[in-house]
Amino acid sequence: MLLSAYQFVDLDRLALKQADLRAQAKRLGLIGTVVIAREGINFSLGGSRPQLDDWQAYLAQAHGIDQLVTNFQPVEAVPFLRLRVRIRPEIITFDPDIQPHHAGTAEHVEPPRWHALIQDPNVQLVDTRNDNECQVGSFAGAQNPHIEKFSEFAEWATRHLDPTRPVAMFCTGGVRCEKAGTHLKSHGFGEVYQLKGGILNYLQQIDQDQSLWDGECFVFDDRIAVDHALKPTDQGICAGCRNPVEGLDAHHLPPWDETGQCSICQQRFSQDKIAGIKERIRQMALARERGAKHLGPQGQDQNG
């Protein structure tokens, strides 16, 4: 079982909490990634349902984290190799001054109501995720901001969205929309809505024959992408730029020239970066030989 969750809540003594959270997760036998900041917690952890229930109870009793936005996903194998507990300036990188739990944010809309909302022609339907995620799948008719990182969303919204019209936003699990919603509300947008629990919640609640979702959903773990039934697909991503690319070799190595420039994405990778990517691929191959799962894109610490 996989549990992805977040909560915006004031946290202090982060170093002590980091040690405490790591010890508790290890005691329960959980693996995955936990990110904490002064503004809250964001995590994706794998284990049995009783282990994950104990983890939630511990967060509530020991740290007052008792209003998590959660998403449970059944998985055949936990898509992580190890446990990471990290301290960051923000649980999702955007703007540290944006504090959803201290200011107004978007109205949460349950998946059944989402259908009617996003079919209203006056509603601006917006995918707040990065461009590479949008390319894998999105809601039909949604605006793709074509951003490389979430912190670019604010500038895009200023240039492309009309504050006099309703905005309906969505992301993978909901956390990005919390910050985007607070930003929009503070800049004069009157009606701002977000899909409660994000795309993953929608795919679980809405039957595929009634769904308005088109394509796959990019996820931040070793599955890469999941279909409407939340089953892993054969989607591959480039080992260099982490974008979905067709036609790569079996290891998903990008086509570099002697200077390190990729002929697909035009990025230039340093020799140290290339060596690191090749070592990661080597470790993944060793993990497969052991019958294990190597830590996937969750290592990017973007779980939104």
CA gap 35, 301 in Å, rounded: 7
Tokens of 97: 């001054």
Q: Confirm if 153 and 160 have CB atoms less than 8 A apart.
A: no
Say what angle helices 14-28 and 49-63 make with each other, to 10 degrees.
Answer: 150
Q: Render the burial of 171-209: b for 16+ CB within 10 Å, e for the rest.
A: bbbbbbbbbbbbbbbeeebebbbbbbbbbbbbbbebeee
Residue whose structure tokens are 């997760």: 25
List 134, 171, 217, 262, catalytic entry: 171
Distances (CA, A) of 115 to 168, 211, 262: 11, 8, 41
Q: Is 171 a catalytic residue?
A: yes
Q: Tell me which residues are annotated as active site.
A: 171
